[in-house]
Structure 1
Amino acid sequence: MTQTLRIAIVMGSIRDGRLCPAVTDWLMTELGQFRELELSLIDPADIPMQTFADPLAKPILEGMRRELAAADAFILVTPEYNHSYPAALKFIIDSAYEEWQTKPVGFVSYGGVSGGIRAVEHLRQVFAELQSVSMRDAVSLANVWELFDEQGQLIDPRRPQRTLHKMLEQLGWWAVALRNARAADCLTPRLSPKGAGLRLSCT
């Protein structure tokens, strides 16, 4: 990657004793090695979630939407709760709409034997509806309680690092491609008759 990319990291858990901060800290440290990346962090624990209409939540949600709008790509850090992803993450996703569209999304999941992959599969369906592109490769941390030491560091980060770097290659390609397409207005194509077929054109 040679262009600066703005990536918003979205945490998915607000449970007491959550492991999300440890997983997110590892991710932020890994991403911090790339000078091309500008990172922002969205933590649902900082957002009142009683209702979308909560006056206390409104300015916080507006700030969050600005962060999402400014991002070229997203990485979601999610556990798996009851075969799916947490309600707190759903709240964040549903608090925005256009800000997600035509941008790539990567996933770092964690959990028990599944490593959170069932949560990710549900999220792929959600982001397809939001016209976002989900990355094929995702980081999955199975039996996550055994992977971190007492200082909150991954005991053996080699495999997650390899997968993360592969995902970043995909995320970077899509982020640049879609950013250029949005700038060229190619994502609102005009249908123009040409012979027997139709031609897509960008302004």
Structure 2
Amino acid sequence: MPVAFAMAVALFLLLGLVGGAASLFDVSAIRAAAPWRDAHPHATSAVILFTKLGYAPPLLTMAALGAGWLAWRREWVRLVAMGAAVVGGRIGIELIKLIADRPRPGFEAHPVDVHSQSFPSGHAGNSMLTFLSLALFVAPERWQRPAVAVAVIASLAMGATRPLLGVHWPTDVLAGWLYGAALVMLAWWWVRRRDARSAA
């Protein structure tokens, strides 16, 4: 797990270095999304509605409900791990945004409000942090695999809305997914190690 985490960090840093307005891949993707939005206004409205679920109030409400369930069951180790991943991860995203200071795409007016810098995507990172944490730490073990699959698919869909709406570069979103998944898996690895030691 530490090796995989180190590789994730290296890839995250690479995405931070190569993406943005200087990236042909990023610019091409953003420019391609604008005609789609113009041609599909109803679908765009649905995308805007869905992307609002990735803001702090809905995600933190989901996390708080999951944390409440763990507290009721007195699963303190999982509660601490989940809290560290979700809350610590959110803080980390905001700090990285300040440090990286990557401007958002600015080819046209944004169809949704944005208030921070671009790298990494908070929607991608925070949705992965929240959904994957709920799947691993809160879902019953017999439902864990399908819960993880649903969590990943939901986060992928959430992150994909951002370049589609022209408010994030694709590399921002890739980095957000990677960041969120890496932190949650690190927390999960820590919990499993503690469980193994307790059982020994």
TM-score by length of 1: 0.28
Identify the structure with the greater helix proportion.
2
Identify the structure with the greater strand proportion.
1
